[in-house]
């Protein structure tokens, strides 16, 4: 996929998801590539008028999903998880139709284990809450103070909030909204979720049989690739981890980054391995996702891409039931952002940091009424391959992602097309 696969290209493409591994190994940090836009919409002299904003973001800093085996664990004490009072808002978590929040088996699996110090794996920390609050403040500066686009107070008709059904992403969404509107609201904030079987805000191993089959072997094979295997053996020797222990670079990185973010000590033996761990974690996820195969990215983020494109089309056509809606917020994971960036052709071979965001703005030219899409990653404008500029004509944008965008119906059909494949 367009010459950004330097290291990914060594291993092939990008597309499967993780399944159980998706939840037992996620990760953390990175710097985005930057581009300056030709125009900004900070005043009416801009040729573009902002119509809609969609923000897909990663949760904030959290406790690790797993500790590195046979290595001294950090003390993950409950005081690290105390919510700052300025992140409190009046909110409710529902299903996609306003009913009760669905069961959350992934969250239940976290709470079946306890980390040293007494907290659970995968929990948003005070630092993580503050990171999302700061992201909300940045969006406030951009869309309320610099551009009078959003109301200064939360209004339900203007803002849609959706999250994966996991506590850290739900709390991250809450903290972002608190920062965006300074805790001012006219109505309860509804954070919508769906059941694990039908989730589209991450590559859904549980709900997509084909994705499960395609990713299963690549995940197992990733640790046997020569360079990865050699480095993995060396780091296990350095840490004194027995050969029989199941370990990979994503797990190591996840624990390391969580510790570093909270100023908790890392094993000194890992100091010289930091850069290698980062690179090998990316190499691993590239091998698992197989980005050169469009089918893989379709399975991972096809419905999400399609939904966000549909939101833009409906806004332009005025046939949405929510005509006053200006902002869509999607609270998700690093394993969402990586394949999404790959589908956009802008993955920078760096792991998305905590609170990373991909923002899609829909603009309309003031004179011609032509629609444009502007994409930014961590507040840096991006040039999408296939687009003539940062402000990309909507039709060019849709063409650029057409190989990966997939309706829910087509996604379900593809997920079930496992005839001839060996089932697990």
Q: What is the pLDDT of residue 12?
A: 38
Beta strands in 216-346 (DSSP E): 327-332
Radius of gyration of the chain (CA): 21
Q: Give me the active site residues, please.
A: 59, 334
Average pLDDT of every residue of the chain:
89
**pLDDT category of residue 40 using cuts at 50, 70 and 90:** very low
**pLDDT category of residue 39 using cuts at 50, 70 and 90:** very low
Spans of all domains in the chain: 8-214+288-415
Residue 22 clears pLDDT 60, i.e. is over it: no
- Find the mean pLDDT for residues 313-320: 89
pTM comes to 0.91
Q: What is the pLDDT of residue 93?
A: 98
Q: What is the pLDDT of residue 32?
A: 37
**pLDDT category of residue 70 using cuts at 50, 70 and 90:** confident
Task: Determine the Cα–Cα distance for residues 196 and 194; give it in Å rounded to an integer.
Answer: 7
Q: Domain 8-214+288-415 carries which CATH code?
A: 3.40.50.1240
pLDDT tens-digit readout, 200-226: 999 999 999 999 998 888 888 898 999
Task: Determine the Cα–Cα distance for residues 192 and 199; give it in Å rounded to an integer.
Answer: 11
Residue 290 clears pLDDT 70, i.e. is over it: yes
Residue 31 clears pLDDT 60, i.e. is over it: no
Q: What is the pLDDT of residue 20?
A: 32
Selection from 30, 76, 69 nearest residue 264 by Cα: 76
Q: What is the pLDDT of residue 357?
A: 98
pLDDT tens-digit readout, 373-415: 999 999 999 999 999 999 999 999 999 999 999 999 999 999 9
Task: Determine the Cα–Cα distance for residues 313 and 61; give it in Å rounded to an integer.
Answer: 34
Task: Determine the Cα–Cα distance for residues 275 and 11; give it in Å rounded to an integer.
Answer: 19
Residue 37 clears pLDDT 50, i.e. is over it: no
**pLDDT category of residue 16 using cuts at 50, 70 and 90:** very low
Q: What is the pLDDT of residue 244?
A: 84
């Amino acid at each position: 996929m367009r010459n950004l696969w330097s290291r990914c290209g060594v291993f092939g493409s990008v597309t499967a998801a993780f399944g159980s591994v998706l939840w037992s190994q996620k990760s953390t940090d990175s710097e985005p590539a930057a581009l300056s836009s030709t125009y900004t919409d900070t005043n009416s002299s801009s040729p573009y008028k902002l119509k809609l904003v969609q923000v897909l973001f990663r949760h904030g800093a959290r406790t690790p999903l797993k500790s590195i085996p046979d290595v001294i664990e950090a003390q993950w004490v409950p005081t690290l998880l105390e919510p700052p009072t300025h992140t409190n808002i009046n909110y409710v978590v529902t299903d996609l139709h306003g009913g009760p929040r669905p069961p959350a088996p992934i969250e239940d699996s976290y709470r079946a284990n306890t980390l040293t110090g007494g907290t659970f794996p995968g929990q948003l920390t005070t630092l993580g809450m503050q990171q999302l609050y700061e992201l909300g403040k940045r969006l406030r500066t951009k869309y309320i103070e610099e551009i009078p686009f959003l109301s200064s107070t939360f209004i339900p008709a203007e803002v849609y909030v959706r999250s994966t059904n996991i506590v850290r992403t739900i709390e991250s969404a809450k903290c972002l909204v608190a920062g965006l509107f300074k805790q001012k609201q006219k109505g309860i904030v509804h954070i919508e979720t769906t059941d694990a079987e039908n989730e589209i805000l991450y590559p859904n191993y549980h709900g997509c049989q084909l994705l499960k089959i395609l990713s299963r072997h690549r995940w197992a094979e990733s640790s046997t690739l020569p360079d990865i295997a050699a480095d993995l053996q060396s780091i296990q020797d350095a840490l004194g981890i027995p050969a029989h222990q199941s370990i990979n670079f994503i797990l190591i990185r996840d624990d390391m980054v969580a510790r570093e973010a909270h100023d908790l000590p890392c094993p000194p033996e890992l100091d010289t391995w930091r850069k290698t761990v980062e690179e090998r974690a990316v190499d691993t996820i590239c091998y698992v996702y197989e980005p050169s195969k469009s089918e893989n990215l379709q399975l991972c983020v096809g419905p999400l891409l399609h939904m966000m494109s549909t939101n833009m089309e409906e806004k332009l056509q005025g046939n949405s039931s929510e005509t006053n809606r200006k902002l869509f917020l999607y609270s998700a994971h690093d394993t969402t952002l990586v394949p999404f960036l790959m589908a956009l052709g802008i993955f920078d071979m760096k792991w998305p940091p905590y609170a990373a965001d991909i923002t899609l703005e829909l603009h309309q030219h003031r004179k011609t009424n032509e629609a444009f899409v502007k994409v930014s990653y961590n507040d840096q404008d991006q040039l999408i391959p296939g687009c003539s500029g940062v402000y990309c004509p909507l039709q060019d944008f849709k063409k650029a992602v057409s190989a990966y965008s997939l309706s829910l119906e087509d996604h379900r059909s593809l997920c079930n097309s496992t005839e001839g494949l060996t089932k697990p």
